Amino acid sequence: MIAVIQRVSQAQVMVEGEVVAMIDKGLLILLGVERGDGAREIKYLADKIVNLRIFDNEEGKFDLSLADVEGSALIVSQFTLLGAWQKGRRPSYEAAAVPEIASPLVGQFVEEIQKLNIPTETGIFGAHMEVSLINDGPVTFTLDTAHLK
């Protein structure tokens, strides 16, 4: 499982010209589900993201987590994070879980974030989405669970 997280002051997802999800202060989480991912990866990544200290304290230093600042999460499934681009000119997505497996795992990830008391919005799995954000910082991190396998 791989996630690109961006600290935002605002983010939203539009599908067919309609806003389907929107948050203010928090994290935009672009989530890629890899073949073989399961409950272990979901729990680890959700806990890591919610508790990662990447928000400023009163002195302007990274010392507060999403939970500490009472921020929200906007989770958007993005299989292209697992694209292998090293060979040729067209990325290969062999590492990505097939939609029938990925969709419920994304749902479980959303539930895990919600269990950690984070208000959560989501994009629509498999839809063509327009994602907009105001990156606060900018602060962006890439996290993965490769070391768990």
Supply the CATH number for residue 60's domain: 3.50.80.10
Give CA–CA dist 35/1, Å, rounded: 8
Distance, CA of 28 to CA of 49 (rounded, Å): 11
Each residue of 36-74: pLDDT tens digit?
Answer: 999 999 999 999 999 999 999 999 999 999 999 999 999
Domain hosting residue 26, numbered range? 2-148
Q: Could you count the other beta carbons within 10 Å of the beta carbon of residue 61?
A: 10
Mean pLDDT, all residues of the chain: 97
Assessment of whether the complete model's pTM goes beyond 0.85: yes
Catalytic sites, residue numbers: 78-80
Q: What is the pLDDT of residue 149?
A: 75
The partner residues of 32 in beta bridges, in order of sequence, read: 2
Q: Into how many domains does the chain fold? A: 1
